[in-house]
């Protein structure tokens, strides 16, 4: 191998070495940038709640016993129509005792308030079809994000050790 060939070979090796160094530096810079962006994204997720709309479409069985302990006042206003004949015995001098019918007729007004106590339990059982959308807002707890923060810290430490 000649002198020029050796120099050309060394020049190629040097150029390849420079490319490798530039590639490694570029990869490290890209990795640093990715870690910074990932940490910023985690911080954003931790700071803002997640909004979800949950669709509910289900049958809800409802079964209960409702106690009822009340007094109700029932007003009564009516008229009682009376039309009858009352049989009675009358003593008439000389004739003696005579049975006679006395007609009785008339309207009797009735006005009163009646207290009606109610003491019972009413059983209620039915199925209600629930179909709705429920908006839910959830803040992701720090405990759930802690493993991701730990992983980013480990990656940063690895990159620092390799420098």
- 152/126 same-domain check: no
In a domain, 54, yes or no: no
As for how many domains the chain has, the answer is 2
Same domain, 33 and 82: no
Token duo for residue 9: 């070979």
Report the mean per-residue pLDDT for the chain: 84
Give residue 83's domain range: 60-138
**Is residue 29 one of the residues assigned to a domain?**
yes
The Cα 94–Cα 59 span in angstroms is 92
* pTM exceeds cut of 0.75: no
Does residue 26 sit within a domain?
Answer: yes
Query: Residue 111 has what pLDDT?
Result: 93
Residue 150, CB half-sphere, CA atoms under 13 Å: how many? 6
Q: Which two tokens stand for residue 18?
A: 């420079």
Give the C-alpha separation, 153 to 144, whole Å: 16
pLDDT tens digit at each of 163 positions of the chain: 677 787 787 778 788 777 777 777 677 777 778 878 888 887 877 778 888 899 999 999 999 999 999 998 999 999 999 899 888 888 888 888 888 888 989 999 999 999 999 999 999 999 999 999 999 988 887 777 788 888 888 877 777 765 5
pLDDT digits (tens, 9 = 90+) for 17-37: 777 777 776 777 777 788 788
Is 91 domain-assigned? Answer: yes
Residues 129 and 151 in one domain: no
């Amino acid at each position: 191998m000649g002198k020029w060939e050796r120099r050309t070979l060394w020049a190629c090796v040097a150029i390849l070495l420079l490319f490798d160094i530039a590639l490694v530096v570029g990869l490290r810079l890209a990795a640093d940038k990715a870690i910074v962006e990932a940490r910023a994204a985690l911080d954003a997720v931790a700071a803002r709640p997640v909004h979800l709309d949950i669709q509910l479409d289900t049958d809800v069985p409802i079964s209960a016993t409702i106690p009822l302990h009340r007094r109700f006042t029932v007003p009564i206003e009516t008229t009682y129509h009376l039309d009858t004949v009352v049989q009675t015995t009358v003593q008439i001098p000389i004739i003696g005792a005579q049975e006679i019918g006395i007609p009785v007729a008339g309207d009797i007004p009735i006005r009163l308030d009646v207290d009606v106590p109610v003491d019972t339990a009413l059983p209620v059982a039915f199925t209600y079809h629930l179909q709705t959308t429920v908006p839910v807002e959830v803040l992701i707890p720090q405990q759930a994000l802690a493993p991701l923060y730990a992983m980013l810290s480990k990656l940063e430490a690895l990159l620092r050790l390799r420098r």
